[in-house]
Amino acid sequence: MIRIIGLEQREEWDGIVQSFERFDVYYLSGYVHAFMLHGDGIPILVYVEKDATRAMSVYMKRDVADDKKLKGFECGKYFDLITPYGYGGLVFEGDVNEKSVKNICEELAICYQSEHIIAEFVRWHPVLQNANLVRGIIDVIDLGSTIHMDTTSEEVIWQNITSKNRNTIRRAERNGITIEHSDDPELFHDFVEIYNQTMDRDHVEEYYYFKDAFYQSIAVELKGKYELFYAVHEDKIIAMSIILFVNRQVHYHLSGSLSEYRNLNPSNLLLYKVACWAAKQGYKTFHMGGGVGSGIDNLYKFKQSFNRNSCNQFSISKIIHNLEAYNEVLSYRKQNDKEFNKDSFFFPLYRS
């Protein structure tokens, strides 16, 4: 039995998700609602029951014709799927073995073909390590690593932090920085200003700028599942982070800092205090993500300094469910774009 559930059935959606022992915030309807408003597609929950095994995954479903690069293509003819911003992929429960996983994956492939879904892109969850269950059944591509902090206790947190970072955290406190947190929606105004300045400084793509409706959605739809942590210096907010949490897991979602105060290292102290808060609240992990493009860059090394013993494999999957239809869309793109790069690693290639 396969069910595809939309946001119009949100109570049922979240009931199914939360019935899984290892569910995470990325699977909740309130999380994907914000990214629907951002234009990422139509959120769907895919739920499967077969014999003694069940599985779920969440996707953004996109009409191929909605892509500006495919202007003029027939609307409603073909669709593709992508896991929402962050991490996801199939979560299995029950009698989970190679045979049962393979049976579910095969049934899903047939279902997607009947729904005119031609391609699927998955960012597997590094903490759940759900990619390991489908290796050999689905093509899994290992990229880089991500970092999480073990938040079982404040003692464990401090022990895992590198000595250099401990000194930086102490120095930030001596510099008079304090860390506060709240779920007051009014704080999103401060966050947007700091976050957008950070994005400007880092010269990021337009995608990473979010409109007010996106933040309003977080405030309403994820109430009780987010906190805004912020660093204060001389009564001024100088760094902020949106922290998400559910089911024993905490996530570093979005963040920003004012460049003129970076020498005070507010982010080091902020993340340490988030981890300590998580420990007090009974959360077991604080997942911080990895570097830009999954590389071992300065961002990755910064995060790694919070847990020298952490290394979570980050993997993706690029799945074509209907090769003939995929090639049809690809040919359309080639014919209508003389600058199209057929050698791009982007997936699906017709959206590159």
pLDDT in tens, 162-205: 999 999 999 999 999 999 999 999 999 999 999 999 999 999 99
Q: What is the pLDDT of residues 110-131, one digit of tens each?
A: 999 999 999 999 999 999 999 9
Cα 214 from Cα 27, distance rounded (Å): 17
pLDDT at res. 339: 87
pLDDT at res. 83: 99
Based on the domain organization, do 134 and 157 belong to the same domain?
no
C-alpha gyration radius of the chain: 21
User: Could you give the 3-state DSSP secondary structure of residue 269?
Assistant: helix
Q: What is the pLDDT of residues 23-76, one digit of tens each?
A: 999 999 999 999 999 999 999 999 999 999 999 999 999 999 999 999 999 999
Question: Is residue 133 included in any domain, yes or no?
Answer: yes
Q: Once rounded to an integer, what is the mean pLDDT over residues 304-328?
A: 95
Q: Which domain holds residue 64?
A: 2-138+322-351
In one letter, which amino acid is 49? E
Based on the domain organization, do 118 and 195 belong to the same domain?
no
Q: Model's pTM, two decimal places?
A: 0.95
pLDDT at res. 291: 85
Cα 148 from Cα 1, distance rounded (Å): 35
Based on the domain organization, do 75 and 6 belong to the same domain?
yes
Higher local confidence (pLDDT), 343 or 252:
252
Based on the domain organization, do 290 and 170 belong to the same domain?
yes
pLDDT at res. 292: 76
Question: Is residue 52 included in any domain, yes or no?
Answer: yes
Based on the domain organization, do 191 and 69 belong to the same domain?
no
pLDDT at res. 295: 67
- Supply 44's token pair: 């769907």
Based on the domain organization, do 10 and 151 belong to the same domain?
no
pLDDT at res. 213: 98
Give the number of C-alpha atoms closer than 13 A to the C-alpha of residue 209, restricted to the C-beta side.
12
pLDDT at res. 212: 97
Contact between 261 and 239 under an 8 Å Cβ cutoff? The reply is yes
pLDDT at res. 294: 63
